[in-house]
Amino acid sequence: MDISLEGKVALVTGAGPNIGSGVALALARYGAVVACNDIDPAAAKTSVERIERNGGTAIAVPGDVTDEEQVTGYLDRIVAEFGHIDIVVNNAALLGGKGVLDESSEFFSRAVHVAAMGNFLHTKHVGRHMAERGIRGSIVAISSSNGWSGSAGVIAYAFHKGGVNNFVRAAAMDLAPYGIRVNSFTPTAPTPDNPELIAERGAGGVLERPRAHGIGGATGDEEWRRPSRWAGDRAPLVPMGTTGTPTDIGHCVAWMCSDYARLITGCDFVVDGGARAKNFAYAPAAAGDLAGPLPLIPLDVTGELDKEMS
């Protein structure tokens, strides 16, 4: 099966530097022209440069995904430059945060607002663009394992990712008559594989270097506090030994946006080495005893060459 996105124009929001950059690179490597959005212009530019190093075509369209005027402005620019939009990946979100006892109303409101308006505005305006022109395109929202099951320390993130999941199903029903597909992808703590990000923060991800207070922020030290997460050494949690990388996510999202997935809408795809599927009482074998997945099929050729030369 030869997946090709040749002739398609894609927009990825929140395009740097981890999952968004990986998805944008994958879409470009499979043939799409990619518009890279981020609220940080430097991050959008860096994502474009990564694509161009790997032989793809991309432009930076920085802007705030919650500002309708800015959104329609860069959508108009994409259409003016490339003629149409066939793919949107709604990835922009605020990470981090705290648990329900400690989260601020300001952070909670902003995190929910970014996810809600980012998904809504791009799905609405690109959906209208597609419907008016008879484009049977693909819209993908990036969810999270925290949108499907509970985890301490990320109450705002859990709330808005849960909302993303049902937004996808409802939008899929709205847009199905036009042949426009809406799906979600659920990543689970991927290990970064962007060479620039690794150079900045070091190799490994959350599974190799657990944060001191779990996924969210620190809690207080009052006498009445009780720990919300196990702080000691943890047994391996992932049946296949790894939750993968943004490249794994990119391969799947590219297929979701291809014509091979023409009848798939209102669905969620999970690439996480079995992390979400396992029962809570199941502890995988030690990492050294696991066969693990097949070797990764790389997308960042420049990054692979750098590894070989080092």
Residues that are catalytic? 157
Please check whether residue 139 is in contact with residue 180, taking contact to mean a CB–CB distance below 8 angstroms.
Answer: yes
- Residue 35 has phi, psi (to 5 degrees) of -100, 125
Alpha helices in 13-63 (DSSP H): 19-29, 41-53
Q: How far apart are CA 126 and CA 92, in angstroms?
A: 16
Q: Running DSSP on this structure, what letter comes out for residue 223?
A: T
If you compute the radius of gyration of the chain from its CA atoms, what whole number of angstroms results?
A: 19
Q: How far apart are CA 81 and CA 75, in angstroms?
A: 10
The beta-carbon contacts of 102-107 under 8 Å, at least 24 apart in sequence, are 102/217, 102/219, 102/220, 103/155, 103/156, 107/156
254-292 CB burial, b ≥16 within 10 A, e <16: bbbbbeebeeebbebbbbbbbbeeeeeeeebeeeeebee
Residues 6+ apart with CB under 8 A from 151: 145, 158, 214, 215
Largest CA distance in the chain: 62
Q: Running DSSP on this structure, what letter comes out for residue 291?
A: -
